[in-house]
Amino acid sequence: MEHEAILILSGGLDSTVLLYHLLEKGVRPLAVTMRYGQKHDTEVTMARRTAAACSISHRVVDLPLDTIFSSSTLLKGGATIPDGHYSDETQRSTVVPNRNLILLALAAGIAEDRGCSDVYYGAHATDRAIYPDCRPAFIRAASAACEEGTYHRVRVRAPFQDWSKTDIVREGARLGVPFENTWSCYKGGPTPCGTCGTCVERREAFCKAGIKDTGV
């Protein structure tokens, strides 16, 4: 068994902190990043940087959901990303249909292919308002589906599922995560816009944690 676990590493704040959190616990995962047609594919560059910095194996998988789905503003070709608070109903347009189950199913396939049985991802409580695929009921159901569908009974693990984004920032600071190697802004510009839902969420979390964000 080459790796004992798979981590979905988007290159955002949550999954990057989760990687450092796992490494501290002695879990050295294979990181898998999906380039799924997101406008903000700067995060893929960040994921590569983090994997290199942590000397872990890394795979980037291409799955151009932007050629399949038409309803999400998060995808290339979609309408403009809305500004606003991350818990506003307006942010629903940023949902990529069933995204996390697609990513988890693929990652669980990679786990099965390699003979390992854990897939980690960085779902957390602050994202629950808008994203159904970050909620505990979803995480349990996705795990059951992966277990039933694989010989290795691959499980989905989301250790931050009951943490707030503020908790994640604090954990990142404790672990010495270089926040400048993470990317959140949905808009895909050269610098974070500061006004989209995820920029607001990130600023609020750093502010509440009383920690300086070196990534903006």
**Beta strands across the sheet bearing 30-35:** 58-62, 30-35, 6-8, 118-120, 155-157
Nearer to its own copies, 57 or 71 (CB): 71
Q: What is the rounded radius of gyration, in angstroms, for the C-alpha atoms of the chain?
A: 16
Spell out, one character per residue from 102 to 131, where the chain touches its own copies: x when CB under 8 A holds, - when not. x-xxx-xxxxxx------------------
SS3 content of the chain, % helix, strand, coil (to 5): 45, 10, 45
Q: Which stretch binds its own copies (CB under 8 A): 47-55, 136-144, 157-165, 185-193?
A: 136-144
Binding pattern to its own copies, positions 137-176, x when CB under 8 A? xx--xx-xxxxxxxx--x----------------------
18 to 24, 27, 28, 63, 109: CA distances (angstroms): 10, 11, 11, 23, 21
CB 161 within 8 A of CB 167: no
Q: Which stretch binds its own copies (CB under 8 A): 67-75, 77-85, 175-183, 208-216?
A: 67-75
| Residues of this chain that bind its own copies (CB under 8 A) | 59, 61, 63, 65, 68-72, 92, 95-102, 104-106, 108-113, 132-133, 135, 137-138, 141-142, 144-151, 154
